[in-house]
Amino acid sequence: MNKNKKIRIIRKEDREYPASLLNISDAPETLYCMGRTEILSSRMLAVVGSRKCSQYGRTTAMRIGEAAALNEITVVSGMAKGIDSFAHMGALKGGGRTIAVLGCGVDICYPRENRALYEQIASEGLLVSELPPGTEPRPYTFPLRNRIISGLAEAVTVVEAGTGSGALITAERAAEQGREVFAVPGNINSQYSLGTNKLLTDGATPIAVVDDIFRGIGINPAMTEEEASDLGKDEKEVYDIIKATGEVTVDYLCRTLNRTPVFINGIITVLEIKGLISYNLGKIFIAKF
């Protein structure tokens, strides 16, 4: 246990109890918390997957965690080995927030090999459990905690999961709770993707690029530092207007920037080539769509 962190008890009737959990039928009566409890009021995205995963899954979970940090979304997961751990690490690497919902008391690090991650989340993020301190992990406690992972979040993303993965339980609970379920498409020949690909056939929302997740929950994705540094002054000026407005026409950009259609169309072409914008019928441009 991290001796420098105190365990805080939050009950259903307390003001700090997350509103998102109040909306599920089997909300926990009590939350035992260690870390930054204020992030319980932030927007949250659950990112889950199998303990056994591929390099593709690990890299994708990290990228989603980093992108969530960039877009000021808290990553919620279960601190299990594999996908969960990499989602937490991505959020922390990006300087963002993360919450680990444990299947044991918050004073117990499980799995033990995640000690460094456990300590970092206790210091920079939040550890949460409905189980009293000192409660050891048991097989039945993990499916129970999955409803809290999905209940805290406004959407759940399953990165990689076999047919027997607990991540599929989280996805099922998310659907029951009325949350959006995203799934990362995987290799049809890989055992690690059987569960996620099955979710897609059952109606989960596929992810073509990471930013699809954020657009799916109503966020215009932020540019990465690399993307921003690759833009010239005029390109960034046009991009910022498109992002702030959501949908614009060439005429709107011409009037706003007092520029000619030839100039604006040239900038639009460059931004399209860089993959930052696209357009629908009627020449309405949408940032990073």
**Residue-level pLDDT at 268:** 87
- The terminus-to-terminus CA distance of the chain in angstroms comes to 44
Q: Which residues contact 201 (CB under 8 A, 6 or more apart)?
A: none
Encoded amino acid at 88, one letter: H
**Residue-level pLDDT at 61:** 97
pLDDT tens figures, 127-172:
999 999 999 999 999 999 999 999 999 999 999 998 888 899 999 9
Fold of 8-216: Rossmann fold (3.40.50)
What is 225-287's CATH number? 1.10.10.10
Say if CB 57 and CB 159 are below 8 A apart. yes
What pTM, to 2 d.p., does this model score?
0.81
Q: Please provide the average confidence, as pLDDT, over all residues in the chain.
A: 91
Same fold, 8-216 and 225-287: no
Domain parsing of the chain, residue ranges:
8-216, 225-287
Q: Which residues contact 172 (CB under 8 A, 6 or more apart)?
A: none
